[in-house]
């Protein structure tokens, strides 16, 4: 008989961290699970570390395709009714899955159930918990601000079969793209308690970096969102994103590209006073 929950863990060269993630799954109070690890071309001893767990883990190695590609491969090996995401440098508190599956059972219409995350730095020091979320039909709220961490999310297999896999052309924000596509077609449940712990990785691409914001803009500009989000809210979100992209370019000395984004932001939101200030400041350089 297939397990109820498949826990999908993509990893790349994190042999020194993945034990904590796996052990947190094995310590869950909800135990009708399988663990699927997709090794995305690791060159360290990840395979040996996973091998110590024996048959408790489904281990799949592939040539490096990036995290979206690793998760998409994982979907093909998950047999559970629900698929829970866990990054290999994060971990869960013991009642996470139990609480989420209970909410699914109360609301079988949900396509996804998420929770808050606590945040720690690379040394394991507690920093903060992420912003609170909402339940129900939350597309507009999620479009305004992403409040769902990957390791906090559990989706139903029918939901994934309906909306499709991760977009592998996105090197960042691929999870935000998936959440928005889910929210466009399914209500979502959210537990406003930190039941997962997210590691703030300084070597990764921050969502607030230039690269992160450029990927986010690609996600936000997908045509279906222009159709579903109220025009004023849509323009303001795009304007905000263009504003920060413009400022990033300008601080790098690329004033031509920066001003181009600042001009776009001002056209989208004519009364965007902060943007107008920076546009006036950099347009003269």
Q: Which domains does the chain have, with CATH numbers?
A: 5-199 (3.90.550.10), 230-283 (1.25.40.10)
Mean pLDDT of 111-126: 86
* Residue 122, pLDDT above cutoff 80: no
pLDDT digits (tens, 9 = 90+) for 43-93: 999 999 999 998 789 999 999 999 999 999 999 999 999 999 999 999 999
Mean pLDDT of 191-208: 77
Give me the residues paired with residue 184 across strands.
Answer: none
Tell me the pLDDT band of 196, cut-offs 50, 70 and 90: very high
- Record the pTM: 0.95
Q: Are 3 and 80 in contact (CB under 8 A)?
A: yes
Q: Are 67 and 174 in contact (CB under 8 A)?
A: yes
Q: How far apart are CA 247 and CA 278, in angstroms?
A: 8
Three-state secondary-structure class, residue 56: helix
Q: How far apart are CA 104 and CA 81, in angstroms?
A: 11
DSSP 8-state class, residue 131: P
* Residue 205, pLDDT above cutoff 50: no
Lowest mean pLDDT among 113-117, 204-208, 236-240: 204-208
Q: For the chain, how many residues are written?
A: 285
Q: Are 176 and 139 in contact (CB under 8 A)?
A: no
Q: How far apart are CA 218 and CA 223, in angstroms?
A: 10
* Residue 150, pLDDT above cutoff 80: yes
When the pLDDT of each residue in the chain is averaged and rounded to a whole number, the result is: 94
DSSP 8-state class, residue 53: T
* Residue 201, pLDDT above cutoff 80: no
* Residue 176, pLDDT above cutoff 80: yes
Tell me the pLDDT band of 38, cut-offs 50, 70 and 90: very high
Q: What is the pLDDT of residue 70?
A: 98
* Residue 143, pLDDT above cutoff 50: yes
* Residue 158, pLDDT above cutoff 90: yes
* Residue 211, pLDDT above cutoff 50: yes
Q: What is the pLDDT of residue 200?
A: 78
Q: What are the tokens at 56?
A: 């408790």
* Residue 203, pLDDT above cutoff 60: no
Q: What is the pLDDT of residue 208?
A: 77
Lowest mean pLDDT among 158-172, 195-209, 229-243: 195-209
Task: Please count the helices (runs of H) and the strands (runs of E) in the chain.
Answer: 12, 9
Residues 6+ apart with CB under 8 A from 54: none
Residues 6+ apart with CB under 8 A from 31: none
Three-state secondary-structure class, residue 226: helix
Q: What is the pLDDT of residue 174?
A: 97
Q: Are 249 and 263 in contact (CB under 8 A)?
A: no
pLDDT digits (tens, 9 = 90+) for 238-280: 999 999 999 999 999 999 999 999 999 999 999 999 999 999 9
Percent of the chain past pLDDT 90, that is, above it, reads 88
Q: According to DSSP H, which parts of the chain are helical?
A: 18-26, 46-51, 66-77, 96-106, 139-144, 157-163, 174-183, 210-220, 223-228, 231-251, 255-268, 273-283
Q: How far apart are CA 126 and CA 119, in angstroms?
A: 6
Intra-chain end-to-end CA distance of the chain, in Å: 67
Look up tokens 């323009």; give the residue: 235
Q: Determine phi and psi for 215, rounding to 5 degrees.
A: -65, -40
* Residue 32, pLDDT above cutoff 80: yes
């Amino acid at each position: 008989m297939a397990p109820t929950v498949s826990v999908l863990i993509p990893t790349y060269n994190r042999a020194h961290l993945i034990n904590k993630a796996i052990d947190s799954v094995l310590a869950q109070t909800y135990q009708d699970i399988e663990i699927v690890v997709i090794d995305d071309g690791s060159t360290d001893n990840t395979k040996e570390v996973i091998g110590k767990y024996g048959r408790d883990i489904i281990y799949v190695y592939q040539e490096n395709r990036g995290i979206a590609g690793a998760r998409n491969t994982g979907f093909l090996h998950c047999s559970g009714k629900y698929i829970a995401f866990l990054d290999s440098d994060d971990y869960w508190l013991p009642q996470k899955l139990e609480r989420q599956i209970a909410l699914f059972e109360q609301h079988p219409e949900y396509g996804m159930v998420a929770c808050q995350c606590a945040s720690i730095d690379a040394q394991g020091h507690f920093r903060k918990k992420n912003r609170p979320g909402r339940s129900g039909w939350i597309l507009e709220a999620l479009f305004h601000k992403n409040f769902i961490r990957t390791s906090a999310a559990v989706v139903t297999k029918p939901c994934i079969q309906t909306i499709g896999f991760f977009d592998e052309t996105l090197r960042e924000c691929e999870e935000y793209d998936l959440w928005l596509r889910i929210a466009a077609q399914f209500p979502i449940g959210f537990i406003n308690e930190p039941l997962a712990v997210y590691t703030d990785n300084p070597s990764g691409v921050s969502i607030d970096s230039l690269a992160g914001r450029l990927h986010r803009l690609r996600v936000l500009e997908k045509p279906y969102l222009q159709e579903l989000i109220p025009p004023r809210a849509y323009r303001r979100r795009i304007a905000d994103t263009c504003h920060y992209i413009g400022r990033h370019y300008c601080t790098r000395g690329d004033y031509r590209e920066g001003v181009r984004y600042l001009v776009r932001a001002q056209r989208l939101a004519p009364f965007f006073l902060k943007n107008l200030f920076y546009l006036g400041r950099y347009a003269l350089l």
